[in-house]
Amino acid sequence: MNKELYEYVLRMGDDSLILGQRLGEWCGHGPILEEDIALTNIALDVLGQARILMDYAGKLTNKKEDEVAFLREERDYKNVLLVEQPNGDFAQTILRQFFFDAFRLPFFKELQNSKDETLSGLALKAVKETTYHLQHSSNWVIRLGDGTDESHQRLETALEDLWMFTGEFFYADEVDTKLVNEGIAVDVNKIKPIWDAKVSEVFAQAKLQIPENDWMQKGGRQGRHTEHLGFILSEMQYMQRAYPGCEW
């Protein structure tokens, strides 16, 4: 088995899976019907990406998609800490989404050139989906930031809570180095300036300042999570744990 590839696929797949689970929590609770559907549409898009990646991780280890997605322990999940942060209010959800989309779009654009056909195929589909996600989340960041005093204040609060989780997108270790050299993985160092530029552009319109604090939290890629992931997993894994192998 290609250990590095498995690890890489999990990191990407868990980002999608956990964010999809979080966004799914909005189902029936959106601030307006239209936004309720928009958020769950996005949830389904990222869940679709997660399924392709879980299936692929399964093939690399002789397991089924559901086993990979639902039967790992907390320490074996490799998503960035940002995606497991609570939905909070709408501003919190939107800002989390914006940071993620602004990373994912240039990331998937690069991944289209991957020598791994499963990954380049996924990227081709995901670029279209993510282009829309980013448009949606950017528009809302601008509306909230340049909206009322209350909407601006809520976005500021979200920014204080979430900023320290944005450095992890650009974490790279020997897994990345090896796969980048093989032409399979994306070099995240190339993505950083694109992300910075997008955030600056949208923040300027949203009347937000980029925080001076540059201390960044990390650990997700090694399986060290915030206290929130355990709660997500206990809900997400309930069916497979209670009824092993269940399908419908």
Partner 1 sequence: MSEIKKEWPLWEVFIRSKQGLSHKHVGSLRAADAKMAIENARDVYTRRSEGISIWVTESVNVHASNPTEQGPMFEPSDDKVYRHPTFYEVPEGVGHM
Footprint on this chain of partner 1 (rule: CB under 8 A): 32-35, 37-38, 41, 132, 135-136, 139, 143
Q: Smallest gap, in angstroms, from Cβ of residue 31 to partner 1?
A: 11
Q: Please, what is the minimum distance in Å from the beta carbon of residue 138 to partner 1?
A: 11
Integer Cα distance of 99 and 97 in angstroms: 6
CB of 45 to partner 1, least distance (A): 11
**Of the two residues 1 and 32, which places its CB atom closer to partner 1 in the complex?**
32
Helix axis angle for 33-61 and 3-24, nearest 10°, is 160
**Residue 95 contacts by C-beta under 8 Å, 6 or more apart in sequence?**
141, 155, 158, 159, 162
- Beta carbon of residue 33, minimum distance to partner 1 (angstroms, whole number): 8
Indicate the residue among 139 and 240 with the shorter CB distance to partner 1: 139
Q: Dmax over Cα atoms in the chain, in whole Å?
A: 55
Distance between CA 138 and CA 215 in Å, rounded?
24
CA–CA dist 228, 231 (Å, integer): 6
Q: What is the DSSP letter of 115?
A: S
| Cα dist from 127 to 18, 210, 224, whole Å | 19, 26, 29
Q: Which is nearer to partner 1, 69 or 102 (CB)?
A: 102
Helix (H, G, I), strand (E, B) or coil at 72: coil
Q: Which is nearer to partner 1, 121 or 147 (CB)?
A: 147
- 220 to 13, 100, 224: CA distances (angstroms): 13, 15, 5
CB of residue 151 to partner 1, shortest distance in Å: 12
Please report how close the Cβ of residue 143 comes to partner 1 at its closest, in angstroms.
Answer: 7
**30 vs 223, beta carbon nearer partner 1:** 30
In whole angstroms, how close is the CB of 39 to partner 1 at the nearest point? 9
Beta-carbon contacts of residue 193 (< 8 Å; ≥ 6 apart): none
- Residue with Cβ nearer partner 1 (19 or 186): 19
Contact (CB, 8 A) for 209 and 203: yes
Crossing angle for the helix pair 117-145 and 33-61, to the nearest 10 degrees: 150
Cβ proximity to partner 1, 44 vs 216, nearer residue: 44
